[in-house]
Amino acid sequence: MRAVLDANVVISATLIRGGHEDRILRAWQRGDFESVTSPQILEEMGRALFYDKLLKFRWMSEEEVVSLLQAFARESVIVSGRVKVKASRDPEDDKVLAAAVEGRAEYVVTGDRDLLDLERYKDVEIRRPAEFLRILGRKR
Number of domains making up the chain: 1
Average pLDDT, the chain: 93
85-106 pLDDT, tens digit per residue, is 898 888 899 999 999 999 999 9
| List of residues 6+ apart from 31 with CB closer than 8 A | none
CA atoms within 13 Å, Cβ hemisphere of 111: 12
Q: Give residue 20's pLDDT.
A: 96
Using DSSP bridges, classify how beta strands 124-127 and 77-78 pair: parallel, antiparallel or unpaired: unpaired
CATH number (domain holding residue 74)? 3.40.50.1010
Residue 47 has pLDDT above 80, yes or no: yes
Residue 38 has pLDDT above 70, yes or no: yes
Range of the domain at 50: 2-139
Q: Give residue 28's pLDDT.
A: 96
- Give the global pTM: 0.93
Residue 139 has pLDDT above 80, yes or no: no
Q: Given pLDDT bands bounded at 50, 70 and 90, which one contains residue 113? A: very high
Round to whole Å and give the CA distance between 140 and 130: 16
